[in-house]
A and B are shown apart, each in its own frame.
Chain A
Amino acid sequence: MKYLSEYRDPEMVEVFIREIHRITTRPWTLMEICGGQTHSLVKNGILDMLPKEINMVHGPGCPVCVTSISVIDEAIHLAKQPGTVLCSFGDMLRVPGSAKSLLEVKAEGADVRILYSPLEAVQLAKDNPGKQVVFFAVGFETTAPANALSVIQADHLRLNNYSILASHVLVPPAMEAILGDEENRIDAFLAAGHVCTIMGMEEYYPIVEKYKCPIVVTGFEPVDLLQGILMAVQQLEAGIYKLENQYSRSVQREGNKMAIETIAEVFDVGDRAWRGLGNIPQSGYEVNERYRKYNARVKFNLDLPAAEENKDCISGDIMKGLKKPRQCPNFGTRCVPEHPLGAPMVSSEGACAAYFHYSHSSAQEPVSVS
């Protein structure tokens, strides 16, 4: 596949691995932000190719993992309302709320549908005027433009039966929350390439300066990740910090202007509770006043009691990079993908799921068998 196979080339991988080994003189802790990057690292066996001095910790960039339990409860509450169709991306269905998951209420008869695009939900609303269609709009800056567009389109069609339950989260405030944590031990970040494709790079310059922390905007394929790691280590070894762009085939400094405008048309930035990380100021999108009739929280007067996170799940420590999945006493025993204690074990982007599915259970870290 053009534009993919080049970035999975074993010879290129070897070149980068050799160079990373050559220049690394000290221990460094790097955090990859996005769960897609985590999975690529583990699935391709990259972690055990790196020098032992390089410690990769896995960031909060899994939208499913960071959606708070209270929001899942809201979605479940809506799904159970008669005449309501709750539409969601597939990943969200298995995540446990305080009592059940969406998959369970679906099995009990609720009309829960897996969609690929919120625009399909608008079509569903148009085709079913007698039903209330709610789209569970989760995700980072990457999914926000399409979700915003669905609201604009529903407004254009004057639909009275479409709304979204927005639980968008934003990357830069989460990075600041992690860097500002007194236990922080992150030396450099690999920023999420797809988020930056939408939002551009401007937001990251102040973070680099304030925390004197190198940030490399990085892609998702093995060669991307290794090049990103190399660029970060080069900065660390040289004692410098700056914002660099490894993923230049996709990311422009100014981002995608049209997507950013679409987001701004529908959403306001506000505080957001993150699963495992707590409340982070100015870290989420909510439907703005102009489009309030498409805000499911307003439309259905949602006012559910705040739910408590499962205390046995250490997802907060994992997403802050303080612990690795195998350091959780419940990993692979009480917490497995079929019966997760927390979202990181469920999502296709979750760090715990990556370790569970792809890395050797007999080892503390993934090891090579060859």
Chain B
Amino acid sequence: MNAVNISLQCPMPKFDFDVITMGHGSGGLLTHRLLQSGVFDLLSNDLLNQQHDGASFHLNGNLAFSTDSYVVSPVFFPGGNIGDLAVNGTVNDLAMCGAKAKYLSLGFIIEEGLTMAEFWKVLVSIKEAAAKADVKIVTGDTKVVERGKGDKIFINTSGIGYIHPKAAIHHGNIRSGDKIIVSGNIATHGMAIMSVRQGLEFETDIETDSTNLNHTVLALIEEFGNDIKFMRDPTRGGVASVLNEIAELTQLGYHLDQNALPVDDRVDAACEMLGLDPLYVANEGLFMAVVSKASADHFLATLKKDINGTNACIIGEVSDQYPGKVTMRSRIGGTRIVSYLTGEQLPRIC
């Protein structure tokens, strides 16, 4: 997905420096050269090319607007990097509102010393992810902080998009009997990151599942409309945290079946080894939906035909039992509470 061959696909322009320096964030000549020598060309579109302080445009209709900051460590990880993550994350946040992302803003906070090659690699990923999601980057900002004040590169993206007229995504629409569906294997992204985190490196070929979900989701909304009661991409905190949030908001019970949870064997093994529960591990190219009981099977069959939904599953259902709680039937038939994650999931001791 992110097989970036820098030399062939997007030749890196010749920069004055090998690394980002404080001067590149000064707003002066170096900033100008950095942007002119490739960034504008790479992300080129009619609005960005105006090179104004902001993008001016006209929009009409129901809109969704979202923002997110990306601080992932390490910046490069199996199957992706912070660049495509920053585009997909905001595109997906809008998709979860039933909206198709149209324009994005892009803000960089770069730590002094980031190599130009790394910066370029991130930019190329941004370009590719934006093209795939069919979204334009129309305005941006670059700041540089002293070495030690950041972690290579942080990115903020904000996005705006039209809400699909048939979308009726609100937790207030959830009813007892509705089905809980995930679009694919859970915990994949979190474990891909974990496998390369300093001090935790383990040998695996797990890759992030980070991708744009807007085309998939908008097609589902077009077909199933208000039978889709709720959608969320369970990023930080994982599936368990999202379910706890809506359980609290709706005061309904959310009952999962552990046997139905789709987890890749390699991810499951890595979680086992590190003592982590896949339900709390971060996801990226994944969404969770609550769908009316009547449409759930049809919804699942349709989703499974989509490239982003081949491993989709019904993982549980909403009920009146245990209002405000998430429960799970264990593999062996016992039942337990699935609570909020407290703090960070820390590696266990033995």
Contacts and interface: CB of A to CB of B under 8 A. Distances in A.
Tell whether A pairs with B.
yes
Interface stretch (A242-250, A254-262, A354-362): A354-362
A337 B343 contact: yes
A28 B194 CA distance: 43
A222 B200 contact: no
A351 to B, nearest CB: 15
A369 interface: yes
Contacts of A4: 272
A45 B348 contact: no
Contact of A338 (B327, B343, B347): B343
Contact of A360 (B255, B272, B337): B337
Interface string B253-269: 00100000000010011
A370 interface: yes
B335 interface: yes
Interface in A279-325: none
B199 interface: yes
Nearest to A140: B350
A10 B333 contact: yes
Interface in B242-295: 255, 265, 268-269, 272, 275
Interface stretch (A36-44, A70-78, A177-185, A211-219): A36-44
B330 A138 contact: no
B327 A369 contact: yes
A116 B335 contact: no
B166 interface: no
Interface in A332-370: 336-338, 347-349, 356-362, 366-370
| Size bin of chain B's contact surface | 20 to 34
A220 to B, nearest CB: 11
Interface string A38-68: 0000111111110000000000000110000
Q: Decide if the interface of chain B is mainly helix, strand, loop or mixed.
A: loop
B241 to A, nearest CB: 13
Interface in B312-350: 321-322, 325, 327, 329-337, 339, 342-343, 346-350
Given A4-B272, A45-B334, A120-B199, A369 B321 contact: yes
A190 interface: no
| A4, A45, A93, A337: most-surrounded residue (chain B CB, <10 A) | A45
A114 interface: yes
A153 B336 CA distance: 44
Given A89-B349, A114-B346, A115-B199, A10 B331 contact: yes
B342 A338 contact: yes
Interface in B17-49: none
A110 B125 CA distance: 36
Interface in A1-58: 1, 4, 8-10, 13-14, 36, 42-49
B202 to A, nearest CB: 9
A45 B350 contact: no
| Size bin of chain A's contact surface | 35 or more
Contacts of A120: 199
A348 B336 contact: no
A138 to B, nearest CB: 7
A197 to B, nearest CB: 11
B333 A49 contact: yes
A90 interface: yes
| A138, A349, A357, A366: most-surrounded residue (chain B CB, <10 A) | A357
Contacts of B334: 44-49, 366, 368
Contacts of B200: 116
Contacts of B275: 348
A120 B329 CA distance: 39
A46 B332 contact: yes
A140 B350 CA distance: 9
Given A4-B272, A120-B199, A89 B335 contact: no
A222 B347 CA distance: 22
A161 interface: no
Interface string A87-127: 00111111000000001000000000111100010000000
B71 to A, nearest CB: 16
| A4, A13, A140, A369: most-surrounded residue (chain B CB, <10 A) | A369
Given A1-B268, A10-B332, A49-B334, A114 B199 contact: yes
A139 interface: yes
Given A4-B272, A139-B350, A366 B331 contact: no
26 contacts: A1-B265, A4-B272, A10-B333, A44-B331, A49-B333, A49-B334, A64-B349, A89-B347, A89-B348, A93-B346, A94-B346, A113-B199, A115-B199, A116-B200, A120-B199, A139-B350, A143-B350, A357-B339, A358-B336, A360-B322, A361-B337, A362-B322, A366-B335, A368-B334, A369-B327, A370-B329
Interface of B: 199-200, 255, 265, 268-269, 272, 275, 321-322, 325, 327, 329-337, 339, 342-343, 346-350
Closest 5 CB pairs of A and B: A45-B334, A90-B346, A337-B342, A358-B336, A89-B349
Given A139-B350, A222-B331, 6 more contacts: A45-B329, A194-B350, A348-B346, A357-B337, A362-B322, A369-B335
